[in-house]
Chain A
Amino acid sequence: MSKIDRTAEVEETEVALPILNVAPSPHLSDVKFTTMRMMTDVLIALLPLIAMSLFMFRWYAVKQLLICVIASLAGEALFVSMRGRKVTLKDCSAAVTGIIIALSLPATAPWYVGTIASFVAIGIGKVIFGGLGMNIFNPAMVGRAFVMISFANLMSAGAYENSAALVDAISQATPMNAFKSSAIPTPIFDLFFGFTNGSLGETSALAAIIGGTFLCVRRTASWEIPASIILTVAILAGVADFSAGDRGYLLLHHLFGGALLFGAFFIATDPVTSPLTSFGKVIFGVGVGSLVMLIRLFSGYPEGLMFAILLMNAVTPLINRWTIPRPMGDA
């Protein structure tokens, strides 16, 4: 790059003979598709979710998004400069992390929860491993897991409810918790369009599907991961549904409820922490889907997406090692 730039500068100043340079092949590259464009794609794909969170939670969502994005950018600037590296906020990866943290928090969480989650996400989730591309765990989920365990009373399923809140949605129980603890079913219509309480970004299945499809069509996210997660959850929930005699309600409840679609399209597809090959991605997706259902059906938590993704992140290097593709012609 620097070499070419210099040539260009010289050319501008003295319009003499062309100045030639040499470089090893290939001499062409696809300049349209860059890492920054991938991140912008993610930001665009998150728009329906952000819009839905603003519609449902109003100023709670505005506050949470602002806190997390600002804290993430500040964290990135702080920790990267502590490492003595050039701060690159313009690659948008910190902004994406911030938005995903905000969308995964309850509207009721106080300001310090989002701030701490963001700083932990960037510092311990990412920069400590060597920055963008080097982290093992999804940074946003590291941050969220940290606050979930540190502030159990502010992040537990019950904390989502606040009858004193000015926004209607927050006065209800989250659909996953309502069903798990009191067996109160939320209408599928509400789950699909997102007229429920929950983490800011997880309520609407439709918004997640719209944004996620955009990501897969742009090939910024690999379709294998969401497809295999959704299929696995559908099969396991189908079995649970069948054995409970629920006539499909339980199946749709598990597909459209909770953070499943949000996580499948936006969190599990983080390329850094998911396997490289198609087959590896399918193994990863099946693992996430199975763990989600294991936690949802048999543990004390109503939702298990975050832990499922973190556990599969830990297995990703192993999956990569198992799925070294065989080159063409390898007997």
Chain B
Amino acid sequence: MAANLPTQVQGGIGATQPGVQHDEHAHHDEHEHHEQGFLSKYVFSTDHKYIAKQFLITGIFWAIIGGTLSSLFRLQLGWPDATMEWLKPFLGKWIEAGKLNPEFYLALVTMHGTIMVFFVLTAGLSGTFSNFLIPLQIGARDMASGFMNMLSYWFFFASSVVMFSSLFIETGPAAAGWTIYPPLSALPQAISGSGAGQTLWLVSMALFIVSQLLGGVNYITTVINLRTQGMSMSKLPLTIWSFFLTAILGLLSFPVLFSAALLLIFDRSFGTSFFLSDIYIAGQALPNTGGSPILFQHLFWFLGHPEVYIVIMPAMGMVSEILATNARKPIFGYRAMIGSLLGISLLSFIVWAHHMFVTGMNPFLGSVFMFLTLIIAVPSAVKTFNWLATLWRGNIRFTTAMLFSIGFVSLFIAGGLTGIVLGNAALDIQMHNTYFVVAHFHLVMGSSAFFGLWAGVYHWFPKMFGRMMDEKLGYIHFWLTFIGVYLVFLPMHYVGIAGFPRRYYAWTGFDTFSQFADLNKFISIAAIIAFVGQFIFIFNFFYSIFRGRRATENPWNSTTLEWTTPVEPVHGNWPGAIPAVHRWPYDYSKPGAAEDFIPQTVPYSQTQSSNLPYEREME
């Protein structure tokens, strides 16, 4: 494995200038130590650690907004007959005669989806942890281009401002669903949200895509080019592998969303007919002919499906890392973990049409996509098996991060199983657009990715802020959330099988559904309690930044490189030379070793008692 270990050890890299890698003639003034002004230090920072915190805190802001919106529509779904007059000071004209405006209900659902998928679980999750962990775990001073990294955040910020402002405009925010299918999203006559709200949505997403691409190319370049000495690809922590592949998925799929968004903009504002044809609205025929709304779905889901892996893969990587650290065991099947990530990445591009089984596609084509979709169960099962095998007979330490990681595995299994149901075209036609689908993806991708996010925050908080988060509050947060999530989404499967369609404002008009009114109320109560519980986390987070217990350099006795940096972060990450790497990142509880972990920086010559036969050659 490490046969090509460089002969030169400590100090080899650090001997060069901090920031290394640059052609001296091309960039002579970068990374020289100089006094930073307030703006360049706290606002337009190019330090990856600071940018990561900017992403995280913006992500938390968005998560609160997204959660609030969901509580609002859960109120409507749980108590369709109750008066909402008390929300009038907050929602204004969207409360009409004590009732929530039905079009605004659709806007709430749309914005909840958009915010959670893109702003929280894409930007907030990989924006935070790719930025924070890639340079620290591979042993780099910073990202390949700090400037582009800074731009990436500020494009995200601009995108956030546009999206947030769309919540307050007179015609309301976008209301055609987070998938913005035309013709609904293209015609302001159809729904008021498709007016200015949809325009702002598209502008915001265009900025968001630019942000993602600037960030993504940076992550890939950094992982490929800036690894420290000895850090071969087969010694990378699984976190880095997952961020790396996530960035590749984004690089290949976000441009396609951009293409689709541009065509939709042309249809909406310039009078083209890419997605519109033969439409009668309010008794009037539209002039558009020749468009195909199905074409939009193809383009959208070519992004949309990789997007769900963009959301889940960083969480998978972090969970792998946290499980191994806290089970005090090497991750089970390191190479299989990488292989399954590669498999998932590859498959994610050739399964998009399973979102479109009901579009009247050729059944043969449907069965091809069904077959490919079901194959994803294989790498997913490999990962699940390996996580469980890592826990098996481990010396488990139940830190908060560990609980959330185990919770992640649980949710991933629970949600993944229903994926097998939905992947089958014949079953999907029955389940399509019901709450069964909603329950499925909220478990397997929404909640799981959130659990990965929380696990990551609890685990790397000491490195981010130099303090520990409170464990007791963490436990309360975990149990409330874990139980809450199951109480919300398990009954939702049942409601879905009963035939409840998504995106319906109320079902009071259907007698069939009246017997499920209590169940919907139950889901709403659970959802609102679970949401309110998140403020425990938010309190813990901000309180611990200032008042938390001081962290030590390596509080979890972990092996990876970020824990060799000082508690007080420095510009360039390591005050002296960047340490060289000698071994893989999972030497936990190695038989014969003095301690139950051996950091990656320890050469084999210092661990003769624990070296395996093939490692003796490298002493």
Is chain B found bound to chain A in the same assembly?
Answer: no
Interface residues of B (CB under 8 A from A): none
Interface residues of A (CB under 8 A from B): none
